């Protein structure tokens, strides 16, 4: 049974406010997407990597893969008009080359701090349960609001989980899910886990980390740089 990482790098990153897509921003002389690719390249259970890439950046991505020796990268797939579209493009491409019970880990290319433990646990739960959504506890008090300005209610945080990626599925199952979603008119679900829920199906949790941040704003880049420095300090102590 093969394990394939599917990195979603189809977005333009408008919220970051930069002139190039955020997955290709350089941090410490290395593009963000390369950190993410390396996490899966180094993981012994990952057999292949596919990337759904924003239009016009495919050659750049391949050049980076060559430069940084990402030998597991096998497929570069065009992005879609939204996240659901991009993921569908990616899993449909993998379906052409793999068995239905092979596992795909769908991961945001802009989560470059994903750890080996997170990847391993996602694979483990997917094998055992059929899918795995990487989550972390909700530590903050959660307030309900109608207008975004005020609240008169809260929601118990022990009943909430914050989702991350990777999100693991069997290739046959996730392709079937996308086909059925299109049939009922669901075209812009925000994530694979929400698509699964919207289709009335159960999801299972694997373990994430507060460090597994998604680089959405300039502040996130600052946090990422700090985490890289902390990681480097750990290496120095060994």
Nearest 5°: the CA angle 7, 21, 196 is 40
pLDDT at 13 over 50: yes
β-strand pairing of 142-144 with 30-31: unpaired
**What helix, strand, coil percent values describe the chain, rounded to 5?**
40, 25, 35
Angle between helices 83-97 and 171-183 (to 10 degrees): 130
Six token digits for residue 103? 């596992």
Domain residue extents for the chain: 3-141+154-233
**What pLDDT, in 10s, does the model give residues 192-207?**
999 999 999 999 999 9
CATH number of the 3-141+154-233 domain: 3.90.550.10
**What pTM, to 2 d.p., does this model score?**
0.94
**What pLDDT, in 10s, does the model give residues 141-187?**
999 999 999 999 999 999 999 999 999 999 999 999 999 999 999 99
């Amino acid at each position: 049974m093969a394990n394939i990482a599917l990195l979603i790098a189809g977005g333009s990153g408008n919220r970051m406010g930069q002139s190039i897509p955020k997955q290709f921003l350089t941090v410490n002389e290395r593009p963000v997407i390369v950190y993410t690719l390396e996490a899966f390249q180094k993981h012994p259970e990952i057999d292949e990597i596919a990337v759904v890439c924003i239009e016009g950046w495919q050659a750049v991505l391949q050049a980076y893969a060559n430069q940084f020796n990402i030998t597991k990268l096998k497929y570069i797939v065009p992005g879609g008009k939204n996240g659901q579209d991009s993921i569908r493009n990616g899993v449909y491409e993998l379906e052409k080359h793999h068995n239905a019970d092979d596992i795909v880990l769908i991961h945001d290319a802009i989560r470059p701090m994903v750890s080996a433990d997170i990847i391993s646990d996602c694979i483990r739960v997917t094998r055992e349960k059929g899918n795995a959504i990487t989550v972390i506890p909700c530590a903050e008090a959660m307030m309900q609001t109608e207008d975004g300005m005020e609240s008169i209610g809260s929601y118990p945080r022990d009943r909430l989980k914050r989702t991350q990626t990777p999100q693991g599925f069997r290739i046959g199952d996730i392709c079937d899910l996308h086909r059925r979603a299109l049939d009922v008119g669901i075209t812009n679900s925000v994530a694979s886990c929400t698509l699964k829920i919207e289709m009335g199906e159960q999801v299972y949790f694997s373990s994430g980390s507060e460090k597994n941040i998604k680089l959405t704003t300039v502040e996130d880049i600052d946090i990422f740089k700090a985490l890289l420095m902390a990681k480097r300090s750990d290496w120095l102590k060994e």
